[in-house]
Structure 1
Amino acid sequence: MLKVNGINVYYGNIQAIKDVSLEINQGEIVTLIGANGAGKSTLLKTISGLLKPKKGEVLFQDKSIAGKAAQTIVKQGISHVPEGRRVFANMTVEENLELGAYLRKDKAEIKRDFEKVFELFPRLLERKKQQSGTLSGGEQQMLAMGRALMARPKLLLLDEPSMGLAPLLVKTIFRIIEEINKTGTTILLVEQNANMALSIADRVYVIETGKVVLSGTADELNASDQLKMAYLGGH
């Protein structure tokens, strides 16, 4: 579904991504793990059109999307839930969700998707008319995910969904990620919580200082001593 071939991405003169290649098949959950500053968020931003690669290609369903405008990429079926949630604080939950469907015209289907989002996140239904800035961190994460789903993505990019959340909420968010995947949405997940990420992923890429240093199935990487020492605290 997605193929990234040898991309290089810079911030000014600083190279953040170095010849990274990866692929994601339809229906998979693929996770990127690595330390802070390894280039994981930069990679997601490049896929979703917020950054342009200097070199290399990004193919989505065999079409080149590298350097295309972010809204064009949303239209083609990729939604990005950024790190830090980025909800529109002075708008209601409902208005944030409506914005997720901004590019769509199919009113009846949009209504159906509202219902689906409220099924996945009952808490959002209770808070429908509430200003988003007054929600808890966990509720804002649910809203950011719900808003992305309103665009009906084929591929959902999730950047650190568990960041700053209580352990119980982290479990809830990961359970919902699995549910979203079961309904047919492919997921690329960036996550600091390597144990949780590996528990739901099909395949894993490990990124260090802008390079992919390890990749494999979640089971293979779970069994890797190298990975355990580096990311799982040796457990």
Structure 2
Amino acid sequence: MLVVEDLYVNYKAIKALNGVSCQVQQGEIVALIGANGAGKTTILNTISGIVSASAGKIVFEGKDITEIPPHEIVKMGVCQVPEGRRVFSKMSVLENLEMGAFVRNDKKGIQEAMEHVFQLFPRLAERKKQPAKTLSGGEQQMLAMGRALMSNPRLLLLDEPSMGLAPMLVEKIFEIIQEINKAGTTIMLVEQNAHMALSIANRAYVLETGSIVLQGNAAELAANPDIRKAYLGE
């Protein structure tokens, strides 16, 4: 479904990505793990078109999207939930969700997507008239995920969905990620909580300073002593 080939990204003098190649098959959950500054978010931002590649290419469903603008990439079926939620704080929950459907004009489909989001996140339905800034961190994360789902993505890019959340909420968010995946959405997940990420992913890539140093089956990586020591605190 997604092929990232020999991707280089530079921020002025800093090399953020050094020839990264990875892929995502339809229906998978693929995790990207690594320390802060390893380049995980840069990969997602480059796939989304927010950051420009210096070299290499990104192919989604057979189409080269390396130089396509972000809103066109969303129309093609790729949507990102950014790190730190980035909800529209003064707008209501409902308005935030409607913003997620800005690339669509099929009223029936939008209504069905809204119902699906409220099924996944009943708390958003209860608070739909409240300004987004009045929600808790966990509720804002739910809203950011719901807003992305409103675009009807086939590939969902999730950047640090558990950041800053209480452990109980982290489990809930990961359950919902699995539900979204089971309903047919392919997921690429960047997550600081490597233990949780590897527990739900099919495959994973490990990044260090802009390069992939390990890849493979998520369960096998979770059992790897080096990974356990470096990322799972064991």
TM-score range, shorter chain: over 0.9
1:11-90 counterparts in 2 under 5 A?
Answer: 11-90=11-90
Shift of 1:67: 2.0
Shift of 1:109: 1.1
2:145 maps to what in 1? Answer: 145
2:120 maps to what in 1? Answer: 120
Q: What is the DSSP-based 3-state SS (H/G/I as helix, E as strand, rest coil) of the residue aligned with 2:31?
A: strand
1:97 maps to what in 2? Answer: 97
Shift of 1:173: 0.2
Q: 1:193 is aligned with what amino acid?
A: N
**Number of residues of Structure 1 aligned to a counterpart in Structure 2:** 234
> 1: distance between equivalents of 2:63 and 2:87?
30
**Contact 1:51/1:67 (8 A) holds in 2:** no
> 1: distance between equivalents of 2:219 and 2:148?
29
Q: What is the DSSP-based 3-state SS (H/G/I as helix, E as strand, rest coil) of the residue aligned with 1:230?
A: helix
Q: 1:39-82 CA deviation, whole Å, 9 max, x = no partner?
A: 10011000000011110000000100012100010000000000
Q: What is the DSSP-based 3-state SS (H/G/I as helix, E as strand, rest coil) of the residue aligned with 1:139?
A: helix
> 2: distance between equivalents of 1:219 and 1:171?
18
1:200 maps to what in 2? Answer: 200
1:182 maps to what in 2? Answer: 182
Shift of 1:219: 1.5
**Contact 1:3/1:22 (8 A) holds in 2:** yes
Identical aligned residues as a percent = 62
Shift of 1:223: 1.8
Q: What is the DSSP-based 3-state SS (H/G/I as helix, E as strand, rest coil) of the residue aligned with 1:116?
A: helix
TM-score (norm 1): 0.99
Q: What is the DSSP-based 3-state SS (H/G/I as helix, E as strand, rest coil) of the residue aligned with 1:4?
A: strand
Q: 1:83-107 CA deviation, whole Å, 9 max, x = no partner?
A: 0000000000000000000110110
> 2: distance between equivalents of 1:136 and 1:67?
36
Shift of 1:232: 0.6
Q: 2:148 is aligned with what amino acid?
A: A
Q: What is the DSSP-based 3-state SS (H/G/I as helix, E as strand, rest coil) of the residue aligned with 2:229?
A: helix
Q: 1:104-135 CA deviation, whole Å, 9 max, x = no partner?
A: 01101111110000000000000000000111
Q: 1:153-202 CA deviation, whole Å, 9 max, x = no partner?
A: 00000000000000000000000000000000000000000110011000
Query: Which consecutive segments of 4 or more residues in structure 1 shift more than 4 A?
Result: none
**Contact 1:110/1:150 (8 A) holds in 2:** yes
Q: 2:50 is aligned with what amino acid?
A: L
1:227 maps to what in 2? Answer: 227
1:167 maps to what in 2? Answer: 167
1:191 maps to what in 2? Answer: 191
> 2: distance between equivalents of 1:219 and 1:151?
31
Q: What is the DSSP-based 3-state SS (H/G/I as helix, E as strand, rest coil) of the residue aligned with 1:85?
A: coil
**Contact 2:199/2:219 (8 A) holds in 1:** no
> 2: distance between equivalents of 1:218 and 1:71?
32
> 1: distance between equivalents of 2:112 and 2:231?
40
Q: What is the DSSP-based 3-state SS (H/G/I as helix, E as strand, rest coil) of the residue aligned with 2:227?
A: helix
